Amino acid sequence: MSDAGLLFERGLDLNARRVFLVGDIDAESASTVTRGLLLLADRGPKRPIQLWVSSPGGEMDYALAVHDIVRGLPCPVATVAFGACMSAAVLLVACGEPGHRYATPHTPFMVHGVSMEATGDPRSVAALAAYEEAQGRRMDRLM
C-alpha cells in the first residue's frame, strides 16, 4: 500500500487537506488527529484544513488537547459533523473557524452534564469531583 493509502487509512487525506476523527475520543485518536493537523499545517500554513468528526464522545482531556491544537494552528480549520456528534465531540466541531462549522443534514448532536464514576477514599473522590466540575465549566466556556 502506498504512503498516501496508509495515511488515508489513519484518517488523513493529504490531497484534500482533511482529517477524520471517527469513533471514541481517546489518547490514540487524539494523537492521530493532532499529528494529521500539524502535518497539514506544516505543509501549507495558510491553506484551510477540514476536520470531519463522527464520535460518541470520549475523554474530555483528549478533546481539549485537540481543541487547543486546532485553535493554535496558523491556518483556518473548518469542522464538519457527520454520523453522530455527542458529548466531547461537540466541542471539537465548535472549535472550528467561525462561519465554517458544518453538519450533514441528519447528524444528531447531544451534550450532557458532567458525569463520573469513582471509588476510593472520600478525599480522592472529592478531588475527582472538583476536577470534573472544572472540566464541565471549561467546556461551557469554550462552547
CA distance 16 to 48: 10
Cell 496558523 sits on residue: 74
Q: Which of 87, 106, 115, 124 is catalytic?
A: 87
What cell was used for 23?
469513533
What cell was used for 90?
461537540
87 closest CA partner among 34, 25, 32: 25
Instruction: Clarify whether 29 is annotated catalytic.
Output: no
Instruction: Clarify whether 124 is annotated catalytic.
Output: no
Q: Which of 31, 100, 112, 124 is catalytic?
A: 112
Q: Which residues are catalytic?
A: 87, 112
